[in-house]
Every structure is written in C-alpha cells, then in structure tokens.
Amino acid sequence: MASYSPNFTARYRIRYTCNGTRYQNQFRVAGSSTVLATEFLEALEGVYEALAIFRFADWAAEGADFAPAGSDIFLPADLPAIQAGDASVVGRTRANTAVYLGFGSRSFLNNRTRLSFYGVNINPLGANVTTNQDYRLYFGESSGVAGVLSALNTLAQNGWACNDGNPATFIDPYANIGVSAYRQRKLRQSA
C-alpha cells in the first residue's frame, strides 16, 4: 500500500468535549478544494445526528478547522449544528473517556480511512457487546449502527475521502468497540 503524506488531502477537524476530556475527529476531504462544500457539512451533521443515540448528553462541539490539500495550516471553519447526545450520564465513570466506537472504509484503490468517536455510551464488556462477542456491532444487530453507516454512506457521496484522496466507497458493515491505549494510559497516570 502506498504511503501518503498527512497533507495529501484536504482535512476537516471537529473539536469536542465529553466527560471533561477533549477530543477531535479528522475527516479527509476528496478533491483539491480550498473551500469546504456545504453538502459535506450537511452530510457530516447527519453523521453526528445518527450518533446521538450513542453520544452522552454532555457531549459538546467546541470548534472546527479546515486545511486544504498540501497545507499544514488549519484555519477556523464552519461547524455543523450538532446537538448534545441522547445517552444519560448517570452511572458514567472516568473510564468511559477511553471507550470509542470506530468505523472504517476503503477507497476503490483499497486505501483506508478510520473514524473513532469518543464520548459514547458503549460498554465493551457489558450488555451491549455484540451477540458474537467480537467487540463489533453489525448493522443488523443495532439500529443505531445502521443509522450511522447510512449517514457515513451519504458523507462519502459528499466528499469524505480515504488516505489516497479517493472517495470512501467500501464502508465496513459494522462498528468496532474499543478502548484507546493512549487514553487508558492517561487515566492511569491521573489516578
């Protein structure tokens, strides 16, 4: 698989907080656009709306940046209207800051992209672990995951790209449930 520099494609980042922790999602954008398309932002808003079933109620977007292809400079950008999540914060612990829901895709050249969403009400060892016990939620097992996958397909049609700059076309039919080793280390260091 070919290597691509981090600035090979345009990038759009959303910064957010949840449970007192800051996160960011970075989306690669197809084409050599120096301006972010309105359709991309509308489709991205749909992704976060679909994720609302998993996101905690204190999930809050803080800002967004955009860097065109070939640039390492991120400038402030428009932020889609993202509402707070639907999941209750009752019973949540600091350990939830390390848990993510991950989605993957590939371009027609078989280069990939991955998205990890933090601030989600998923327990990797609890009741919402999949039937197969494989730390994945398939679209047939969760209507929430099916909704997010549908929204990601819409985003792919409106500019979401893989590392090679080509549109994300083969979206994995599941969401991975994981615990970030980096965030886990941070929790251990703060204890």
| Structural domain includes residue 136 | yes
Question: Over the stretch 89-100, which tens digit does the pLDDT of each residue have?
Answer: 888 888 889 999
Q: Measure the CA–CA gap between 177 and 37, rounded to whole angstroms.
A: 31
Distances in whole angstroms, Cα of residue 145 to Cα of each of 27, 51, 74, 138: 19, 8, 31, 7
| CA dihedral sign of residues 71, 76, 81, 82 | positive
Output the pLDDT for position 60.
Answer: 95
Which of the pair, 134 or 79, is modelled with greater confidence? Answer: 79
| Structural domain includes residue 5 | no
Place 132 in a pLDDT band, splitting at 50, 70 and 90: low
Taking the whole predicted model, whether its pTM rises above 0.75 is answered as yes
Region 82-92 average pLDDT: 89
CB 59 within 8 A of CB 85: yes
**pLDDT of residue 127 exceeding 60:** no
Question: Over the stretch 3-37, which tens digit does the pLDDT of each residue have?
Answer: 676 778 889 999 999 998 999 999 999 876 667 88
Question: Over the stretch 151-187, which tens digit does the pLDDT of each residue have?
Answer: 999 999 998 988 888 888 888 899 999 899 999 898 8
Q: Please, what is the average pLDDT of the chain?
A: 87
Residue 37 sits in which domain range? 10-190
Distances in whole angstroms, Cα of residue 77 to Cα of each of 11, 38, 43, 47, 65: 11, 11, 16, 18, 5
Q: Measure the CA–CA gap between 181 and 183, rounded to whole angstroms.
A: 6
| Structural domain includes residue 3 | no
pLDDT cut 70: percent of the chain above it = 91
| Spatial CA neighbour of 118 closest among 91, 150, 94 | 94
Identify the DSSP state of 84. P
The number of folded domains in the chain is: 1
**Element spanning 150, H or E:** helix 143-157
